Amino acid sequence: MSGVVLVTGAAGLVGRAVASTLRRDGTAVLGLDLAGDPQGDVIACDLRDARQLAAITHSREFAAIVHCGAVSGPALHRDDPGHVARTNIESTVNLLELAVARGVPRFVFASSAAVYGRTPEDVAVEEERPLHPTSVYAATKVAGEALVEAFSRQYGLSGVSLRIAAVYGPGRRTPCVIRDMILAGQEERSVTLPHGRDRRYHYIHVEDVAEAIVAAVRAGSIRKPAYTIASDRGITMGALAELVRMIVPGPSVSVGVGDDPLSEPQGPYDLDAAALDLGWRARITLPEGIRSYAAALLQET
């Protein structure tokens, strides 16, 4: 790919992986993040500040913009919904305006599968399903998707949103149940989870997410405004606990049946559209991802 790709959230889990994947393939990257990282070649920028964003990018021409910078989950800033809404929506508007003004060929928005909200657990979740967010975070992702689609229709921008499942893997700093289980096994201590034993959850390794985003950047044409990005059709928390203990032996994990306050019940995801249009399917199975994550966590200790 010729030209520079602007990646926001480039000091975070997904943005860093996207920037690394692009650079590994020889693509130039301009990385921005609220927290700059000189060692990772990431420039500090508050994406809500349109003037600062323009000053940093004014001399650049971009082949694509990948927008991963955001409050990154429903567990963060739950007591400050205004901060979540302003951060996620204002940053998206500023970047879309930048894309239109500069004639950027492709805009990829990192959305979340949380936009679906509660769905029947025995019915496959397709992208056309009506969206019913149940958190302010998920609502900001719905708003972001709507803005990307509206800018695409009104201004001719080639924009697409990726509805990403729960991301795990090396570099994650926010709460992660897979990491908690792995560390408990490595440290030979028990774990008790209060909810989710029979609830389906959807996970995806960060490297697969990065490859999906890069595939969306490079896709020749985009048929849908949004695509679901996950590794498979999901796993219950009880089955996940058993899987982790097979890979990282240790004391048993106790999983309760209570309701999960941060996740709604959902059916299995239909992932065929991303395979057909983007040429992407996850390559890292959950057992493979857990093994590699466990090895990475051992190196960190």
Active-site residue list:
137
Could you tell me the two tokens for 116?
């679906």
Would you say how long the chain is, in residues?
301
CB atoms within 10 A of CB 130: 7
The helix (H) or strand (E) run that includes residue 291 is: helix 286-300
Cβ atoms of residues 60 and 7 within 8 Å: no
CB-neighbour burial class of residue 126 (10 A; exposed 0-12, middle 13-18, buried 19+):
middle
Q: What is the DSSP letter of 116?
A: G
Could you tell me the two tokens for 37?
């990282």
**From start to end of 198-275, where are the E strands?**
200-201, 203-205, 226-229, 235-236, 253-258
State the Cα–Cα distance between residues 215 and 217, nearest whole angstrom: 5
Contacts of 99 (CB under 8 A, 6+ apart): 62, 65, 107, 151, 157, 159
State the Cα–Cα distance between residues 126 and 141, nearest whole angstrom: 17
Cβ atoms of residues 237 and 197 within 8 Å: yes
